[in-house]
Amino acid sequence: MEKPRIRKSRASSSDEARRYRQQGHIDALLFALAIGLNEDYKNDAKAKKDVIDPSGDAHSVKSGEKKWQIFLYSEKRFEEFRVMNGMGQLLIECIKSFPETFEEYQKNKTEAKEKLRPHMVALAEKLQDKQRLKAFMGKSMFNSGEVNYLTVYEKNKFHVFWGKEVEQIMADNFEVANSKARSSGQFPEQKVIFRFEGTNLAELEMRNDSPIHYREMRFNMYKPKAMKLLFSKITTTQNYNKKVILYGEAIKHFGHWKKLD
């Protein structure tokens, strides 16, 4: 099955985001078809449920060449993180470091970036606790258990991972720190960095680059490095079919509906 591709052209960041979402819908449809669903498969994108399989389990389907955007949230969405031992409040404080309007921010970026620093430092310190880190990964990637699987489209195949195993591996192996100022004019402690084997695997940062995306927090993950981590820690695999490969704990959970046929 050939994967439909979206032509790239010079366009605004909003056009790029639209194409990214559209490609995500295409990838989710391809996975649905690969496991025997019809084109009217169920999903719930807001809850990260890109595909709901015949067992009723939900999959977050990821592709992309370089990065996965795990989330891009404004202040209101972080109310859901409040139960995580102050994590939600810290995320909100990061956002509130910036003035209410983009125009105000443009007048004095230095003040906002300086206000952000202590909150980013406190956030990194909290995430250095492995249990909090696991809870954060679970909420960010799997909506605290509402999503069961991470399913990645890579080299024309779907790689299916059990969500709880993914969040545990990431919690066990991530080293959490703040960003540093690398050159003149940069500000330290503007991001929380998640490292594996000495390189940045994921970044949590403010997005304040336009009036459209202002006072939002973005969590990005570098796909090749994330896949390297998962492949290195999960060595047990099983082919579900020619298009779908199961990994680790996913082997125990995925495809049970076939026994009911």
At 83, is the pLDDT very low, low, confident or very high (cuts 50, 70, 90)? low
Q: What is the mean pLDDT of the chain?
A: 89
The whole-angstrom separation of Cα 179 and Cα 188 is: 6
Burial (CB < 10 A; 0-12, 13-18, 19+), residue 12, is: exposed
Whole-model pTM: value is 0.88
Residue 17 located in a structural domain? yes
Q: How far is CA 29 from the centre of its chain?
A: 19
Residue 229 located in a structural domain? yes
Range in 16-25, 42-51, 57-66, 76-85 the model is least confident about? 16-25
Residue 5 located in a structural domain? no
Sign of CA dihedral 255, 36, 155, 13: negative
Q: Which amino acid appears at position 30 of this protein?
A: L
CB 72 within 8 A of CB 213: yes
Percentage of the chain lying above the pLDDT 70 cut: 89
The whole-angstrom separation of Cα 35 and Cα 254 is: 10
Residue 256 located in a structural domain? yes
Residue 1 located in a structural domain? no
Is 1 a residue whose pLDDT tops 60?
Answer: no
pLDDT tens per residue across span 183-211: 878 899 999 999 999 999 999 999 998 99
Domain of residue 72, residue span: 13-260
Mean pLDDT of 60-84: 86
Residue 8 located in a structural domain? no
Tokens for 5, please give them.
């591709």
Give pLDDT, residue 260: 45
CB 71 within 8 A of CB 226: no
Mean pLDDT of 116-137: 96
Residue 78 located in a structural domain? yes
The whole-angstrom separation of Cα 24 and Cα 61 is: 8
β-strands 149-154, 237-239 pairing? unpaired
Is 65 a residue whose pLDDT tops 60?
Answer: yes
Q: Which amino acid appears at position 91 of this protein?
A: L
Mean pLDDT of 111-139: 96
The whole-angstrom separation of Cα 75 and Cα 220 is: 18
Give which of 140, 128, 149 is closest to 250, Cα–Cα.
149
- Three-state SS across 196-259? ECCEEEEEEEEECCCCCCCCEEEEEEEHHHHHHHHHHHCCCEEECCCCEEEECCHHHHCCHHHH
Give pLDDT, residue 200: 96
Number of separate domains in the chain:
1
Q: Which amino acid appears at position 14 of this protein?
A: S
The whole-angstrom separation of Cα 64 and Cα 236 is: 24
Residue 3 located in a structural domain? no
